[in-house]
Structure 1
Amino acid sequence: MTINKKLRDEAIYHRVNLVSYGSGLIKESLKLLNIVDKELSAQLYIALDDLSASDFKISRLETMLNSVKSLSSFSDYLFGELNAFCEHESNYQYSLFESLLPDIVTSKYPLMQIAPNQLFSAAKSKPFQGRLLSEWVSDIEDDRLKRVTNAVRTGYATGETTEQIIKRVRGTKKNNYRDGILEISKRNASSLIHSAIAHTAATSREEFGKANNELIKSKQWLSTLDTGTTPMCIIRDLKQYTLDNKPIGHNIPYGAGPGKLHFCCRSVEVFILKSYQELGIDIDEVPTGTRASMDGQVPAKTSYLEWLQSQSKERQEQVLGVERARLLREGLIGPEKFFTRDGHVLTLKDLKAKEQIN
């Protein structure tokens, strides 16, 4: 097996784990938002109960809601997690390449590791989907307040009681509060978290590539290719680009790149390393003790399902769970089922344990 093929396999595995990690962040974030919603509803009830239809003023309501906004810990939690995640990504990229490259290469081209705080700054300073991460987070908070304000305004205009307005805002207990207008903001927050993880991971990969560009010949786009894959990702699958995002052998633009092309983008990319000869290392045979050959070749085309079928039983079970991994091996599961098993989430601690590079 070549080093480039190993890099491709690990890139896919890493993306699978990041989906589960993002699901874990969503789960914790929704817990925080539920606490805030409960407090917001309590204060909203008091504020509305003190007002009558005749003296109701939307400006007074907005003042009250802005005071509740400070109770939200969503942005603090997300940025704290992304900061810690940058440390993992920095160590992951460096350890992966260090474990695969032979000494004959690293002695001539020492690997450069990116500082976690540098990665975090880069992730915050680079926009995705036209806005900075901080702007997207702020929009989530502002959107929640606007929806509450509009719901109250509508309630007063139609003569609803305080209880009816509160139900409109938060929802009903019998439906687990999923029928309130705040539920829309929670769905938006979930999409943002998956996108923020992909954006941060992509930024980490970009920065590592820039720092170690002498080793890299090109980068290859890898799309998920299941029933949820967008056309814009399908047409880019397996396409190669230079490190400065110019197409190689085709005319399809790089756009924002894998993980950033659209919200919740699951595409990744893998670096194609140069051969020994291209690096100026004059050898014909793989050195003794080298883990894999370094021939500079692009790995053969492989679908995600084919990739998973080629992985160890342990890794298959990590991705799918024991039963679905068995179905995969027996040919009874389709590609749309492979990506992550239902209900499986990872914490950052879990992610570090699963991706420990030996």
Structure 2
Amino acid sequence: MPTVNETLQAAAIGHAIDLLHLSNAEVRKIIALLNSADAELRAQLILAITNLGAESFTATHMNTVLASVLEINKSIYASIQETMVKSVIDLAKYEVGYQKALFTEVIPQQARVTVSLGSVNLDQARQIAMARPFQGKLLKEWLGDLEVTRAARIRDGVRMGMVEGQTTEQIVRRVMGIKSEGYADGLLNRSRQDIEAVVRTAISHTAQGARDAFYKANDDLIAELSWLSTLDNKTSADCRLRDRLRYTNDTHEPVGHKIPWKAGPGRIHWCCRSTSTPIIKGWEELRLSKGLPESTRASMDGQVPVSTNYGTWLKAQSAARQDQVLGPNRGKLLRDGGLDVSSFYNDKGKLLTLDQLRERDAASFVRAGI
């Protein structure tokens, strides 16, 4: 039977994967919102360039005729901000509720009677989502910067095109790209990459902030925190260095090493996917010996669990859970095709398509019956 700390570690890995899926969904939603104004933006951009005229082109005149274009840009970022604010507040509320439900389920009732679980209220959850900066700025500040940067890209694209004597069609393509290329050739594609990084980091930052607040509210129950980084082969150098290292719960001081916590898991760099898991104090330290069943004592040993990486964790899950994480075909390849999790990625950590996997190892598809 797994100990309390082993169960919490397994739950932390599974929850990190669920949060990654949430992050993916949020990115798709925000990118779709950003793209929803493309048709209107393109139409106004064509009209503005036509009105600009090569002979009357000046920076002042350009800013005047681009006013409607930049207003559309400003409006779409206002919508993105409204959507993101709601998402991170909802996430903070969910995360503190999830942690309390997890602790209630995992920690024996005898321990919870002696040491009651602390809570994080809704106002605290809102503060976690909105009032704590990540990578040096608040969410609203990052989104405001992205709107200004995208506006500058539009102006720069038009200015360069006019100076080079390009046609209206060429300038619009330069700014927005073309559909057949997935708009990757346009100046505004960088804005999609920027917003994705902000969305992913805001999600991980908020989730970890909520965890930290819940852990601190239960400092009398939690001995230390363990940094968990090993999700797949895309893990950053900073997170690989800290994987499985322990820190104090209250001030995040290193325990048995000198590697600093810095901003913490989920926030130490852009798009960080690391998380943390609490190490619950042993039954003796919690003074639970009176009338405590032997099975409860065994589960509350206070020991740091043996390291478990993402691949090991996933192989121990049910087929349904594997399919939920990987998709049904990759799930079958894991179970029946002889592939491990690392096989699904290239040497740069990018997930391979099924066609690329088949090209690498066709026999695994035969074994899996795909």
TM-score, scaled to structure 2: 0.86
Residue in structure 2 matching 1:179, options 177, 185, 192: 185
Aligned partner of 2:361 in structure 1 is none
The answer to whether the Cα contact below 8 Å between 2:224 and 2:247 also exists between their aligned partners in 1 is yes
Code of the aligned partner of 1:103: Q
Give the structure, 1 or 2, with the largest relative contact order (CA under 8 Å, sep 6 or more). Answer: 1
CA distance in 1: counterparts of 2:278 and 2:189, whole angstroms? 40
Code of the aligned partner of 1:264: C
Query: Is 2:278 aligned against 1:271?
Result: yes
Q: Deviations over 1:180-239 (max 9, x none)?
A: 111110011112111111001000101101111110000001112633111111111110
Bigger shift: residues 31-40 or 260-269: 31-40
Using the TM superposition, give the Cα deviation of residue 158 of structure 1 relative to its aligned residue in structure 2, in angstroms. 0.7
Bigger shift: residues 196-205 or 88-97: 88-97
Q: Deviations over 1:129-179 (max 9, x none)?
A: 122222111122111111111001101111112221111111113223232
Residue in structure 2 matching 1:155, options 138, 161, 180: 161
Matches within 5 A, 1:119-134: 119-134=125-140
CA distance in 2: counterparts of 1:248 and 1:75, whole angstroms? 39
Q: 1:164 to 1:188 in 2, by over 3 A?
A: same
Using the TM superposition, give the Cα deviation of residue 321 of structure 1 relative to its aligned residue in structure 2, in angstroms. 2.3
Residue in structure 2 matching 1:67, options 62, 68, 71: 71
Q: 1:292 to 1:138 in 2, by over 3 A?
A: farther
The answer to whether the Cα contact below 8 Å between 1:319 and 1:340 also exists between their aligned partners in 2 is no
Code of the aligned partner of 1:258: P
CA distance in 1: counterparts of 2:297 and 2:285, whole angstroms? 19
Matches within 5 A, 1:196-211: 196-211=202-217
Aligned partner of 2:174 in structure 1 is 168
CA distance in 2: counterparts of 1:97 and 1:166, whole angstroms? 55
Structure 1 residue ranges (4+ consecutive) displaced by more than 4 angstroms after TM superposition = 338-343
Q: 1:116 to 1:294 in 2, by over 3 A?
A: same
Residue in structure 1 matching 2:301, options 295, 303, 306: 295
Query: Is 2:47 aligned against 1:46?
Result: yes
CA distance in 2: counterparts of 1:135 and 1:248, whole angstroms? 35
CA distance in 2: counterparts of 1:204 and 1:246, whole angstroms? 19
Aligned partner of 2:327 in structure 1 is 321
Code of the aligned partner of 2:14: Y
Using the TM superposition, give the Cα deviation of residue 299 of structure 1 relative to its aligned residue in structure 2, in angstroms. 0.3
CA distance in 2: counterparts of 1:312 and 1:108, whole angstroms? 35
CA distance in 2: counterparts of 1:207 and 1:132, whole angstroms? 18
The answer to whether the Cα contact below 8 Å between 1:219 and 1:271 also exists between their aligned partners in 2 is yes
Aligned partner of 2:268 in structure 1 is 261
Q: Deviations over 1:86-133 (max 9, x none)?
A: 222122111111111222222222212222442232232222212222
The answer to whether the Cα contact below 8 Å between 2:92 and 2:128 also exists between their aligned partners in 1 is no
Partner SS for 1:71: helix
CA distance in 1: counterparts of 2:273 and 2:343, whole angstroms? 13
The answer to whether the Cα contact below 8 Å between 1:61 and 1:149 also exists between their aligned partners in 2 is no
Query: Is 2:136 aligned against 1:135?
Result: no
CA distance in 1: counterparts of 2:280 and 2:305, whole angstroms? 11
The sequence identity of aligned pairs, in percent, is 38
Partner SS for 2:136: coil
Q: 1:123 to 1:287 in 2, by over 3 A?
A: farther
Aligned partner of 2:62 in structure 1 is 58
The answer to whether the Cα contact below 8 Å between 1:20 and 1:340 also exists between their aligned partners in 2 is no
CA distance in 2: counterparts of 1:49 and 1:27, whole angstroms? 33
Code of the aligned partner of 2:114: K
Aligned partner of 2:34 in structure 1 is 33
Bigger shift: residues 157-166 or 105-114: 105-114
Bigger shift: residues 210-219 or 61-70: 61-70
Partner SS for 1:148: helix
Code of the aligned partner of 1:58: M
Using the TM superposition, give the Cα deviation of residue 283 of structure 1 relative to its aligned residue in structure 2, in angstroms. 4.3
Using the TM superposition, give the Cα deviation of residue 256 of structure 1 relative to its aligned residue in structure 2, in angstroms. 0.9
The answer to whether the Cα contact below 8 Å between 2:225 and 2:248 also exists between their aligned partners in 1 is yes
Residue in structure 2 matching 1:252, options 259, 268, 273: 259
CA distance in 1: counterparts of 2:293 and 2:148, whole angstroms? 58
The answer to whether the Cα contact below 8 Å between 1:221 and 1:268 also exists between their aligned partners in 2 is yes
Partner SS for 2:143: helix
Q: 1:174 to 1:332 in 2, by over 3 A?
A: closer
Partner SS for 1:156: helix
The answer to whether the Cα contact below 8 Å between 1:276 and 1:294 also exists between their aligned partners in 2 is yes
The answer to whether the Cα contact below 8 Å between 1:100 and 1:291 also exists between their aligned partners in 2 is no
Aligned partner of 2:87 in structure 1 is 81
Using the TM superposition, give the Cα deviation of residue 325 of structure 1 relative to its aligned residue in structure 2, in angstroms. 2.3
TM-score, scaled to structure 1: 0.89
Q: Deviations over 1:263-314 (max 9, x none)?
A: 11111110101011111222485467x6981111100122221111222232
